[in-house]
Amino acid sequence: MPLALVTGATAGIGAAFARTLAGQGYDLVLVARDAARLSALADELSTAHGISGTALPADLSTLDGCALVERRLADPGTPVDLLVNNAGIGLNRSVLASSTDDLDRLLDLNVRAVQRLTHAALTAMVPRRQGAVVNVSSVAGFLVMPGSTYSASKAWVTNFSESVGLLARRHGVRVMALCPGYVRTEFHERAGIDSTKIPGWLWLSADDVVRYGLRDLRRGLLVSVPAWRYKAAVLGARYVPRAIFRRAAMRTGRRLGRSEPT
């Protein structure tokens, strides 16, 4: 059976990846901080789909947590075929209203952990000339989000994934950035964001995001943006003059209270 390692697996997009991949016959290594929820999900998916589900509790905002998962990705005895870097956080405060500890933790999880785990996975996959990495980014990375380090971190994830993906494809390995917009998960609640201000038509389901993402991974895309409304937003972000886009972002940010996608 193929083996997938999914981070941030206890809820939202990570849990949707775990359920979808288990249904497709993948054995799973599930990573998150909440050991109890993680073990319960691993047991549930193992029973429901006849796969091997393993819980690997780790805090990826720490070097020790990253090192633990890196060692698992490097294990030649049971190689990982698919890495899904989904773990991430947002802050419902501008950079001026955030502590340096909060800002560092966001970058440690959203950027450093993605880089370290992607590197560990590719180091094991490239010699085998097979494997894939999905880094869950956000459409926010294409947009101007006033005072947001979250959007800056996701811009890095998308650029990093696309750049590394160009290199890895020469070696038979795929790397893709998955960039959804607003998704109904625990993300906004955990970040203290009032999601009631966001229009209903902007929301995506985690299952749909995963379905789009795995389809685009099979197609060999370097960047996947689920749903046409978000594809249009990304197109606008790339071609509309930046001054116009900045003014629109300021108005939208005030209206939505700086709610961040994904």
Rounded Cα distance between 134 and 13, Å, is 12
Rounded Cα distance between 48 and 57, Å, is 22
Catalytic one of 26, 150, 182, 230: 150
Active site residue 26: no
| Nearest by Cα to 164 from 154, 153, 149, 177 | 177
Rounded Cα distance between 221 and 242, Å, is 26
Residues labelled catalytic: 150
